[in-house]
Amino acid sequence: MPRAILCVLDSFGIGGAPDAADFGDEGADTLGHIAQACAQGKADVPGVRAGPLSLPNLDALGLGAAAELSTGKVPPGLSNHPKGGCWGVGREVSIGKDTPSGHWEIAGVPVPFEWSYFPNTEPAFPEALIENVIRAGNLPGILGNRHASGTAIIEELGEESIRTGKPICYTSVDSVFQIAAHETHFGLERLYDLCETVFQFTAPMKIGRVIARPFVGEDAKSFKRTGNRRDFAIEPPEPTLLDRANEAGRQVYAIGKVSDIYAARGVTHKIKASGNMVLFDRTLEALDMAQDGALVFTNFVDFDTEYGHRRDPGGYAAALEAFDRRLPELIAKLRDDDLLILTADHGNDPTWRGTDHTREQVPILLFSRSLRAGSIGLRPVLSDIGETIAHWLGLAPGPHGTSAL
């Protein structure tokens, strides 16, 4: 029985969606602008990378051809001559350009409602909400209370947080309430408990996630976020691909933040990891354990958090090249009837204004030794990805997409 391996390169968009202007993102192109920056020498990282973007393995699977279908042009350093696999473009129909919207839709469930967001004001959170948080968490108060970059606000307020015992609360243009606190001075389990409590207040507001952002270090120069992030997320409104696979008795390996995104629904094996290369290692290990009919699902988050939001095209390019170099390891582990899917959940153009995600189309690259190569075209809903996997695994079809195979 075949298996499916789904890898989401978080934020790896390939050109603006038709409604990008509605999100202020007309002209955004994560892959295209990274490739241009590399070709112009603007994405060189001393001792790490230099010159044109080099993604030979992704390109062989159709990345350049998918980008051309999406934007009408091939990014510098890529080609429109795939050597194997199927390739296409995914278009999101959910209203948001956030992680849950993209992932739920990939797994067969477009988001049927609009998320709520906190305003870009200071303070950002309603006074009644903060009063509830302070009272329920038995806190001396909070710090932050505004839109902010997570690393920047920890550097700014981390020392005060340690001194006062006040956690740092902040948000972004995503539907999210984030809480940063020191792992030992505040306590990791205490942070998780606080986030779980806050989630009870924010979920009725249609705020998608409350995220625990633990950090370590003793001063602004040494503060560092750890891999113990935990998301408390609203559950999908319908059964996803993960639920359907689980109900059919299949193994579902959720690697990285995948389990949190789906509120742990449908997951049989939760594997936490931090860092793209560690996530890659855990994916290979899961393949060694995965039985017939299993789904292995990994989110490679660094593309988004480390390079997209921080507007670092050189770092993003280096991370893509590192992923590409390891791709043959993953392909070598595939059985003849396994299906590998490489895609993304939204864009996050590191050359774009601001620090937000960008509304973009995404690549869909499929590979199996038993699959005839060719284009799958432009898919009008990301749920086509989940339905393609369901078809491959012999699962019953869902209501919101169509298999590309």
Q: In the chain, pLDDT over 90 holds for what percent of residues?
A: 92
Name residue 363's beta-bridge partners.
89
pLDDT at 382 over 90: yes
C-alpha–C-alpha distance, residues 176 and 192, integer Å: 15
pLDDT tens per residue, range 147-174? 998 889 999 999 999 999 999 999 987 8
pLDDT tens, residue by residue, 79-104: 999 988 899 999 999 988 989 999 99
**Whole-angstrom Cα distance, residue 378 to residue 364?**
9
Per-residue pLDDT at 274 exceeds 90: no
Quick check: bond before 350 cis, omega within 30?
A: no
pLDDT band at 378 (very low <50, low <70, confident <90, very high): very high
Whole-number mean pLDDT of the chain? 96
Q: Strand 374-379 and strand 86-90: pairing?
A: parallel
Q: How far is CA 129 from CA 102, 118, 126, 138, 154, in A?
A: 28, 12, 5, 14, 22
How far apart CA 178 and CA 148 sit, in angstroms, is 10
Distance CA 359, CA 18 (A): 9
What does each C-alpha distance from 297 to 132, 255, 287, 294, 397 come to in angstroms? Answer: 36, 6, 10, 10, 19
Q: Which residues pair with 375 in a beta bridge?
A: 87
C-alpha to C-alpha distance for 319 and 302, rounded to whole angstroms: 8
CB 150 within 8 A of CB 170: yes
| Beta-carbon count within 10 A of 325 CB | 13
- Confidence band (pLDDT; 50, 70, 90) for 356? confident
Report pLDDT digits (tens) over 181-196: 999 999 999 999 999 9
Half-sphere exposure of 382 (CA within 13 A, CB side): 34
Give 28-55 pLDDT, tens digit per residue: 999 999 999 999 999 999 999 999 999 9
pLDDT of residue 179: 98
Lowest mean pLDDT, pick from 241-245, 261-265, 293-297, 358-362: 261-265
Tell me if 389 sits within 8 A of 405, measured CB to CB: no
Specify the pLDDT at position 114. Answer: 86
| pLDDT band, residue 117 (cuts 50/70/90) | very high
Model confidence, pTM: 0.91
User: For position 20, what pLDDT does the model report?
Assistant: 96
pLDDT at 205 over 90: yes
Q: What is the pLDDT of residue 82?
A: 92
Mean pLDDT value across residues 227-237: 91
What stretches of 222-261 show up as alpha helix (H) in DSSP? Answer: 241-247, 258-261
Six-digit token string for 377: 């075209």
Please name the residues in contact with 135: beta carbons below 8 A apart, sequence gap of 6 or more: none
Torsion angle, alpha carbons of 92, 97, 99, 104, to 10? -30
